[in-house]
Amino acid sequence: MKLPTDLMLVRPLEETQERSLPEFVEDLRERIDRIHRYAREKLKMHSDKMKQRLDTTSTETAFQPGDAVWLYAPKRTKGKSPKLQRNWEGPYTIMKKNNDLVYNIQLSPRSKPKVVHLARLAKYTGHDPPKWFVVEDSPPRTEDSVIWNE
């Protein structure tokens, strides 16, 4: 079907010439490959820009055993507005770092440990962090390491 724009614009010379089917297929394949490469380059360029923009605003958070953290655990109570409910619990103590994203945390010495993702944790900045947890990497105390007040 010819549109008015097709009638107004004359077709380029190379398209008006008769070509054999193999030549047409080869030309079509080359144009599709060229367009595909162009699209891949643009996608990569935009992906790199988005990654760079995200990296400038993101902060890498890493916790060590013994750090105090808040746990994001929203609870929805029927009849109460979600805005007025507490979404954060704690302070919890980091017990163990399983990998870069998963931690074992514990609320108190007698509570059951929880395994949580880094996205649900926030650094505790209160005045009284829990002091019940002793980091396992600390050297044992000896009589020589104790300072006596005389």
In this structure, is residue 38 part of a structural domain? yes
Residue 113: CATH number of its domain:
2.30.30
- pLDDT tens column, 59-75: 777 899 999 999 999 98
> Where in the sequence is the domain holding 25, given as residue range(s)?
19-57
In this structure, is residue 2 part of a structural domain? no
Q: Is the pTM of this model over 0.85?
A: no
Number of domains in the chain: 2
Nearest of 82, 103, 81 to residue 93 by alpha carbon: 103
Encode 1-13: b = buried (16+ Cβ within 10 Å), e = exposed: eeeeeeeeeeeee
For residues 45 and 88, membership in a common domain is answered with no
In this structure, is residue 128 part of a structural domain? no
Contacts for 109 with CB less than 8 Å, ≥ 6 apart: 132, 133
For residues 51 and 72, membership in a common domain is answered with no
Q: Which residues of the chain have pLDDT under 50?
A: 145-150
